Structure 1
């Protein structure tokens, strides 16, 4: 009798929770959250860009537009070799951003130190420390994808972009133009990644391609581009490169966007919900449960209702910017397991 009562109570709680999910703002709530995040990032980038430029001008005693002067010097060094300049800007700079970020994360993943960072693990019982054999296998695939898949693809993109305009023009785009293009790239990536990602979850494709990426149910940063080469082209590269390609973006904008995209996907996979960094809870839940949270911003997931189960969880409650030092697994702990 008591067991039946508990089951009815639990069922009532689940139904109430589902109703709350349906009534918590729906698609509009997701859109406003995404707009707030993107808008805040753009404003921060604008403020940081202006402040950094002012300080650099004072430090180096530069006159006029510091960034244009710096770009002109670099441009003249590569004059007549635009393809080499484009390749360095779209391969070397993003790879430095990727491995610089992941190098720091790997130190924690492999050594478990400094220990105060491990307190922020999204899945506290996993990767403590990471399996080194599995990690080395993933790193080899990541390097292969970067060198033998991304490399040739970027060279093809250079020729396609050259038809659209002059990617290595001696004149930099305006700051406002650069921000507008970055915003467009965010939208294009959300659309392309969501639908290509869902496509690779089709049973006929999943077992041949995407299953490799999901070997990591508790991801770490470096596995963000650990994927079958076919998936790397279709779901990692195309969503990122299509925006600059359609816009005919300048190399500097394209390079900045690639760096931002790689750092963003690294944070989403890193496995640590660190203070003042974007929340990785959304994509971490995807690795844990497979059938939820396919996108980047979450707007299309809300539209297609592929985040409904996620929004019933503690992970959803933790899916916010951490502005203190107390890990969210402590301030918003999991429900204690019920006795059978």
Structure 2
């Protein structure tokens, strides 16, 4: 029996070409985003370069890493199952404590993206956030990383589990490539999983908790339902390192960087040289646009159109001086 195939849709090819042209038109913006990401990694990379240059002996750090690797080999569950979560948690509370000082004292209020909000910050609301964050970090997060470690151990060959391939320290170029891939994978997955959370099936019972803060603060970065924490926060962040089979030091560097980034874009403060929070801040104000982290996926799908018509969009740039973005825009108008 012959199969009947419908005639090809004549509009399909023009639509593909139109989408390709749209993506190409976004290249300058995409390049700018990755330059901003590079700027964000500069402090960490500088510390690494200086540490290598000022080492007491030529192979000082290689020897130290060899000792650490031997410890990891003997304590895999602890080193690979718990250490990444501990790094993320430590960075979370260090960065969060700094921003809490600003929130309670009002020292940096001129840099606020939504002036007058959370002034003063209400202690009962904050207590609820702290409890939720601790559960997500030390119950949900650590259980997830431990589970992934066990799955990897049970499904990998002896050769795949051999840590000798990580004896050499990763180069700066390798770190940059891997970190760029991690950020890209996270942007794509976070966009679609976050947008899924705005579907009526998930928003009321899962995602609405995070949106109780229309003017966010740094600590609410992972103030969310456990299901959301796994799907929207953890899954996009850990997929890149898994796909790249990255060096443990690159993995730990990623957690050192990604946690503060998420907190900064939730902080409600647009500081000089820091990642600009305007994009995600607008998402909390409206809940109808800006679902990604880096603006790329929203630009591709057109879910940033409302934001691009707003005052927030005009203030969305990296500050290289001490004047707040609002003052700069006011002078230009």
TM over 0.5: yes
Q: 1:308 to 1:44 in 2, by over 3 A?
A: closer
Q: Deviations 1:126-158 (Å, cap 9, x if unpaired)?
A: 011211110110111011000110001011222
Match of 1:107 in 2: 101
- Measured in 2, the distance between the counterparts of 1:135 and 1:249 equals 36
Deviates further, 75-84 or 266-275:
75-84
Alpha-carbon distance between aligned partners in 2 of 1:48 and 1:262, rounded to the nearest angstrom: 14
2:121 corresponds to 1:130? yes
Matched, 1:142 2:133: yes
Deviations 1:230-281 (A, max 9, x none): 0111001100011111222222111111221111111110000001111100
Map 1:159-308 onto structure 2 (within 5 A): 159-162=150-153, 163=156, 165-166=160-161, 168-169=163-164, 170-172=166-168, 174-175=170-171, 176-308=173-305
> Is the aligned partner of 1:331 residue 2:325?
no
Please state how far the C-alpha of 1:216 moved relative to its aligned partner. 0.2
| Mapped partners of 1:272, 1:29: distance in 2 | 30
Show the counterpart of 1:121: 112
Name the CA distance, whole Å, in 1 between partners of 2:189 and 2:282: 20
Change (3 A) 1:301 1:43: closer
Aligned match of 1:55 in 43, 47, 50?
Answer: 50
CA drift at 1:304: 1.4
Query: How many residues align structurally?
Result: 306
Question: Is residue 29 of structure 2 the alignment partner of residue 33 of structure 1?
Answer: yes
Alignment check: 8 A CA contact 2:289 2:307 kept? yes
Distance in 2 (alpha carbons) for counterparts of 1:166 and 1:107: 44
Contact 2:82–2:145 at 8 Å: present in 1 too? Answer: no
Q: Structure 2 vs 1, CA of residues 53 and 148 (structure 1 numbering), >3 Å: closer, same or farther?
A: closer
| TM-score, normalised by the number of residues in structure 1 | 0.82
Structure 2 residue runs of 5 or longer lacking an equivalent are 1-20
User: Using a 3 Å threshold, how does the CA distance of structure 1 residues 167 and 31 change in structure 2: closer, same or farther?
Assistant: farther
CA contact (8 A) 2:276 2:316 kept: yes
For the structure 1 residues 286 and 57, does the alpha-carbon distance in structure 2 shift closer, same or farther, using more than 3 Å as the test? closer
- RMSD over equivalenced CA pairs, Å: 2.5
TM-score by length of 2: 0.84
- Cα contact 2:271–2:319 (8 A) shared by 1: yes
Question: Is the 1:105–1:221 Cα contact (8 Å) retained in structure 2?
Answer: yes
